[in-house]
Amino acid sequence: MPLGTWLKAGTSAAALVLAMATAATAAPASEPTTALAAAVTLRYDDTRAGGWETAIAAGVASWNANVSNVRLVEAAPGTGAEIVIVATTGWPQATLGPVRPGRQVRVELGSQAVSQGYDKTRIAAHELGHSLGLPDTKPGPCSQLMSGSSAGTACTNAVPDATERSRVQSAYASSVAALIPTDGRNLIDAP
């Protein structure tokens, strides 16, 4: 067989093998393909938030249970953290994110709100929401975590609503989002 015929046959065979391999690994047309992005992991440091540990743990658990594109984990001792949480005597406040890995925001959990009757867990979850990129939605109902103090002291809801969850999911939807800078504004949650 002449060399040209061998080359044509080899090229055709390679194309056939490639086509078959592609067809074998492709999803059937009837099944939607959904690529699950790996969750962005953000570390928090609460070593300077004495008295708030239980509320912080509950706030973190609420976010981790309600969004899948971002995971909050406690920073190991001596390592850096994207979210630095401190206890203060003033009103709760936080830097507006969304914070990205390797960047840093600050959450201040103020005792002034607690002394006026606001729920510690709601405060912690709300301030973490700011770090994840959510602004206040004041005035707002108790069902909106980001309504903050405008929902009143009787409100203890520490769970983000569907809109809040969706906004955080979108903010951490892809690795491209990791390049978007944070807002950097400090939001003070006084009524």
20 phi and psi angles, rounded to 5 deg: -70, -40
Q: What is the pLDDT of residue 142?
A: 98
What amino acid is encoded at 144 in this protein? Q
* pLDDT tens digit sequence for 135-190: 999 999 999 999 999 999 999 999 999 999 999 999 999 754 444 444 555 545 65
Residue 114 C-alpha from the chain's centroid: 26
Per-residue HEC secondary structure of 91-160 comes to CCEEECCCCCCCCCEEEEEEHHHHHCCCCHHHHHHHHHHHHCCCCCCCCCCCCCHHHHHHHCCCCCCCCC
3-class secondary structure, 184:
coil
The band of 38, judged by pLDDT with boundaries at 50, 70 and 90, is: confident
118 phi and psi angles, rounded to 5 deg: -80, 150
Rounded to two decimals, what is the model's pTM? 0.75
94 phi and psi angles, rounded to 5 deg: -155, 155
The predicted model gives 65-85 an average pLDDT of 96
Q: What is the pLDDT of residue 119?
A: 98
Helices 120-131 and 53-66 sit at what angle, rounded to 10 degrees? 50
User: Residue 72: which H helix or E strand, with range?
Assistant: strand 70-74
Rounded Cα distance, 128 and 107, in Å: 7
Q: What is the pLDDT of residue 172?
A: 95
Those residues with Cβ within 8 angstroms of residue 55's Cβ, 6 or more apart along the chain or in another chain:
109, 120, 121, 123, 124
Burial category of 143 from C-beta neighbours within 10 Å (exposed 0-12, middle 13-18, buried 19 and up) = middle
The predicted model gives 47-61 an average pLDDT of 97
Which residue matches tokens 């080899």?
10
Q: Annotated active-site positions, please?
A: 127
Q: What is the pLDDT of residue 101?
A: 95
